[in-house]
A and B are shown apart, each in its own frame.
Chain A
Amino acid sequence: MTTSRWLRTILAGVSLLLVPLADRALACSCMLSGPPCQAAWTADVVFSGTVRTIERIEGGPGDPVFHPVRVTFDVDRGYINARSGVVEVTTGPGMGDCGYRFAAGRRYLVYAWKRPPSGLSTGICSRTRPIEEAAEDITYLSSIPAMATGGRVFGRVNEYRRDPAEERGVDYGPLEGVTVSVQGPTMQKDVVTDAHGRFEVTNLPVGKATVTLVAPFGFDARYLTREFDIPDLRSCSAQDFTLALRATASGTVVDESGRPVAGVEVDAVAAELAGFDPPPYQYPVKTDERGIFEFDHLPPGTYVFGVNLTKRPGARRSGTSVFLPGVAAARDAAVIELKAGDETVVGVLRLSRR
């Protein structure tokens, strides 16, 4: 196995056989393998076969129940680096360790990685699945020999929107007309998302490339460049993006004599929740030595600002609420509407000694 392929394996997050060595099972955490045209080129071996036996691998530390298992397959078709015959693959026991729980006698499509010094491993972060659920994979894998048209990157751009009065946001739908720029070793191409928010760039050469979104006005422009790899002219990379509208708000906290107050935690709360001690749906920010606070990435909406305006569920409120500009009652608070892309100075919050 080449170093780059081994690295790709690690990047794919398949640390399957390391985790079971721990005394207790851990929650599985890994990146998924993407579509078949991506997964096929990050796996070392791909085959279809029927599980003949499943054996727990004895020895090693910890409770045997967490030990990996050895699965023996009767391979009926090899797609990548595999032939018909008997193949052994190891995986975790499937108890929160990313291991795949195979069933004896059932037929699967298996994506596996070589595990030094020898042997193959797989897990739930791969596209390994029962054969009856692998139609998309089989279609791609069966047509590989006929393709050599160049690499492909594709994806979707969707809007994520969160109301300031809610803890979590939702997928708000596809974004049409977003410019996507793809740059490879010897090429550069710009495309625009369609009505479904989709984009695609084909004929990519082998090698590393980047995909960059040009955020429309009002959207958060962070994290919009990604690097990806085209290992083969028949491979692809799926790159989905989510864009969120944002606004910024800043202000100053002073004491009753007008001096800036540093280290004060300021809340931004949806105006409709003001006075009801909502949870801190917006992360509070602290004032700097000049008494300035700045919220960089607020979802657009109508806000009030102040100190001690929120309360975590089950927690006690840490002090008396003071709303900008320096009032105790929510009804007297300054209500500020922030639109997407706004950079608003909300004013001065004056704290009294009480």
Chain B
Amino acid sequence: MRRDLPWHVSRIQQSVLTVSLLAGLALSVPAVAAGQPWADAYKAGAYAKAAQLLQPIVVEQVQTLGDGQASDPAPARHLAVLYARGTGVGRDPVLACTLARFSDMALHSRPPDPDQHPLTYKATIDESEQFVRRNCEALTKREQLAAGRSLGCFAFGLREGTLALGEHTVWVDRLGLRLSASEPDPLPIDMWCSQFVARLEARTIAPPADAAPGVVPRAFVELLGWQRVQMAGDPSIRYVLTWTMFELRGTKLEPVASEHLLSVPSGPGAAVPPDFDTRFSVEMIRSGHIRWRLDGAPPKRGWIMLAEGDSR
């Protein structure tokens, strides 16, 4: 972004300012303002804790930006650095690119400070764009697409890699799930925009002992993700734990269940609630249909039916 400088800024002033700004921006991480817990942790070198504190802040900023309000670019910027370096978190260049872009969006959301010298403002903008380039340029096209799709979703906690699902390998990245057996590469299944991924694993559900003849185990990829939601008519924000099951059907992975199981008022992080696994159960019945149940008051329950034509 280029701006014409005001006429009263002399060339000497420009030179002095440019030199001093370049010196100040040589480091990719701007100075951390003390006083905020994440900043204190960052300054103290407690990067894992800083990342944990930064993630919900960045998620909250999605709403701020969405509402057209100004937002602080520093949290996303610092988190981008942590993911780019793999400091305190698993290294994730794609997420670092996403966060760099998000930080840049936050910076652009802020009007120029009237007391700030125009050159300073311009240099800040330019540097932010350079930061985005540094974090995004080296990515492949697919990774850049993934970084774009992660903007606002983030999926903190997602580990890219592979899952073994029966005889198949499932490739997990920020664009979704792919079956290695699928050729050509199909459009991956959308991960449905979780802000935090609490669990993503392969899961096979076996038939009961009294299953009907021909009933076979069913193979799934199970995703537990937290999604930040604002209910209609309710200004408060909640995080909803969404359970999604992708079933291996033939040579395809198909989403077969997506349920909002529970909600909490504040940022849960990329974790499953402590009592979740004792409250939640999934079992196959004789015919091959699968029943799920979440104990509670009242309990929630539902089914993952067999594909049409698969009934025994």
Contact = CB atoms under 8 A, between A and B. Distances in A.
A binds B: yes
Interface of A: 158-159, 161, 163, 165-166, 170-174, 195-197, 272-273, 276, 278
A181 to B, nearest CB: 23
Given A158-B287, A196-B212, A196-B213, A171 B299 contact: no
Contact of A171 (B211, B213, B214, B289): B289
B312 A173 contact: yes
Given A172-B286, A173-B312, A196-B312, A165 B211 contact: no
B310 to A, nearest CB: 11
B27 to A, nearest CB: 57
Contacts of A159: 286
A171 B310 CA distance: 12
Contacts of B211: 173
B301 interface: yes
Nearest to B288: A173
B207 to A, nearest CB: 10
B287 A171 contact: yes
Interface in B247-296: 285-289
Nearest to A194: B213
Contacts, number: 45
Closest 4 CB pairs of A and B: A173-B286, A173-B287, A173-B212, A276-B298
Interface of B: 211-215, 285-289, 297-299, 301, 303, 305, 311-312
A195 B287 contact: no
A272 B305 CA distance: 23
A278 B312 CA distance: 32
Contacts of B286: 159, 172-173
B285 A173 contact: yes
Contacts of A163: 301
Contacts of B298: 165, 272-273, 276, 278
B305 A170 contact: yes
Contacts of B303: 170
Contacts of B311: 171
Nearest to B208: A173
B214 to A, nearest CB: 8
Given A170-B305, A195-B213, A196-B312, A165 B299 contact: yes
Contact of A166 (B285, B289, B301): B301
A158 B289 CA distance: 13
A273 B213 CA distance: 34
Contacts of B305: 170
Contact of A170 (B213, B215, B285, B297): B285
A171 B211 CA distance: 12
A251 B303 CA distance: 33
Contacts of A196: 212-214, 312
Contacts of B287: 158, 170-174
Contacts of A195: 212-213
A240 to B, nearest CB: 11
A266 to B, nearest CB: 21
Nearest to B212: A173
Contacts of B285: 161, 170, 172-173
B171 to A, nearest CB: 33
12 contacts: A165-B298, A165-B301, A171-B287, A171-B289, A171-B311, A172-B285, A173-B211, A173-B212, A173-B287, A195-B213, A196-B214, A278-B298
Given A173-B212, A196-B213, A196-B312, A272 B299 contact: yes
